[in-house]
Amino acid sequence: MKKIFIYFTAIFLLMISSSIAKTSLEWWQFWTDPTIKPVINKMITEFETINPDIEINVTDLTWSNGHEKIVIAFSSGTAPDIVELGSDWIAQFASKNKIADITKLSKNEFGDYRGWNMATYNDKIYAKPWFLGTRVIFYNKTLLKKAGFDDSFIPYKWDDLKNGAREITALGKKYYGWGSNTAEKHRLYKKFMPFFWSNKAQLFTDDNKFCVLSSIKAIEAIKLYAWLHDSCGYVDNQRGIEDAFLDGKIGFIISGDWLLKRIELEKRRINFGTTLIPGPTLPGRSFLGGEFLAISENSKNKEAAKKFIDFITSAENQIEFCKANRTATPSSKLASQDEYFTSNPNLLIFNKQIHLAVNPPVDPDWVKIEAIIEEAVEEIIFNTDLIAEPLLDAQRKIEKIKGIE
């Protein structure tokens, strides 16, 4: 009896000590799609097997309200150890010291990953790039052929895009040359800014002393964007535009790698091509963003959290994730050289565009600036024939936010 009691006590103590010794990490992430969630779960299991002293608890967020939940969690001191952040949000949390400076923890990895600049605020790194994201032109080859263009036609320049869009629109009432986004928050600027950046327009002067949103270059860019919208535009939200493109109604749209996934999974029979965002004379610049993993400043397990982030963002795991999610642009340079990306012409276009893409300024006020730019674009394409005035008005508002006299 005494022996049994001793055995049970020993087992009990062992169980308690093992559970006490385990480091528990909370991770908030956005990938809930049935094609990718099992991959995430598998990676966690693998990590926990390799690191039996660490336990990962995942919470899924949605894109519709995930940002709000993260903000509230940081404000109330209930943020998780690790959180997935969109590139636009990093400066906002870094400026308020809500996420940890991981510069020292990451110093040996700078050469191996792309996208660090989007996580750098005041010369410190606050998150590790997981995936990058950019937008390219998707075009309908069947419609182009119908409109008289030969198979080799690719819209490299603004004039090519205009001609192509014009001719497709001329095919008849059912067809539109250009998919134009309605006033969608967080989306509209990603469609206009590629034209803006391609024309070498800038938001601020190089010394950051003045906002130059209404420069001649910017006006030229918005003129083209407004022309496409007015003359050839199928206007809807992003999903609606993509639906219409897949139904063969639109000639050109700007979209991301998720559309490739949709075409593949829905087995769409569309003769399409992808190409770089056109510029005035040469291929132009696109929008650059990405998904990042950050550690909460209040986390008591920063090193364990970094260990997990390193595991999840390793080249092998990124390739596995990208294959499952059809993501085109991993942050790992090694992963991006995998045959999966180099053998697929569409994925190759995305990886080329990454080199010709511009990220919005890493600025805690970016969300507000973005909203002001979108309001100006919305005003120009929907409400007024004026071009410069709404941009000038937006410029003044941005200067006010940034305290520029």
Partner 1 sequence: MKWYKKTAFLLALPWLVTFVVFWLFPLVYSFIIGFTDYELLSDSINWVGFENYKTLLSDEVFLSSLSNTFIFVFGTIPFTTIISLLLALLVNGNYKGRDFFRSAFFMPSVTSMVVIALIFTNLYQRGGYIAMLAQMLGFTTPEYGFLFDKNTALYSIMAMDIWMSVGYYMLIFLAGLKSIPDELYEAADISGASQSKKFFSITLPLLRPVALFILVVNSIKSFQVFQEIFVMTKGKFDTSTAVYYIYDTGLTTNFQFGYVSAAAYILFVIIGLFSLTQFLLIRRRQSLW
Residues 63, 67, 71: CA angle, nearest 5 degrees: 160
Q: Does 392 bind partner 1 (CB under 8 A)?
A: no
Task: Select from 270, 367, 388, 392 the one that contacts partner 1 (CB under 8 A).
Answer: 367
If one asks whether residue 190 binds partner 1 (CB under 8 A), the answer comes out as no
- The SS3 of residue 67 is helix
- Alpha helix ranges (H) inside 84-187: 90-95, 103-106, 141-146, 158-169
Q: End-to-end CA distance of the chain, in Å? A: 85
Q: Which residue of 37, 166, 352, 368 would you call a contact of partner 1, by CB under 8 A?
A: 368
**54-60 and 23-29 strand pairing:** parallel
3-state secondary structure 187-204: CHHHHHHHHHHHCCCCCE
Q: Residue 98 or 306: which CB sits closer to partner 1?
A: 98
Residue among 9 and 75 whose Cβ is closer to partner 1: 75
Region 229-268 residues binding partner 1, contact defined as CB under 8 A:
235-236, 240
393 binds partner 1 (CB under 8 A): no
Least distance between partner 1 and beta carbon 96 (Å): 4
User: Least CB distance from residue 382 to partner 1, whole Å?
Assistant: 7
Looking at beta carbons only, is 321 or 366 nearer to partner 1? 366
* Helix, strand, or coil (residue 288): strand
Q: Which is nearer to partner 1, 24 or 75 (CB)?
A: 75
Q: Is 101 in the site for partner 1 (CB under 8 A)?
A: no
The only residue of 18, 19, 208, 383 in contact with partner 1, by rule CB under 8 A: 383
32-42: b (≥16 Cβ within 10 Å) or e: eeeebeebbee
Does position 358 interact with partner 1 (CB under 8 A)? The reply is no
Residue choice 265, 382, 389, 400 for contact with partner 1 (CB under 8 A):
382
Closest-CA residue to 196 (of 177, 172, 212): 212
Q: Are strands 272-275 and 286-295 parallel, antiparallel or unpaired?
A: unpaired
Q: How far is the CB of 325 from partner 1 (least distance, A)?
A: 26
Q: How many residues bind partner 1 (CB under 8 A)?
A: 23
Give yes or no for a contact between 341 and 328, defined as CB atoms under 8 angstroms apart: yes
Q: Which residues bind partner 1 (CB under 8 A)?
A: 67-68, 71-72, 74-75, 92-93, 96, 98, 182-185, 235-236, 240, 367-368, 371, 378, 382-383
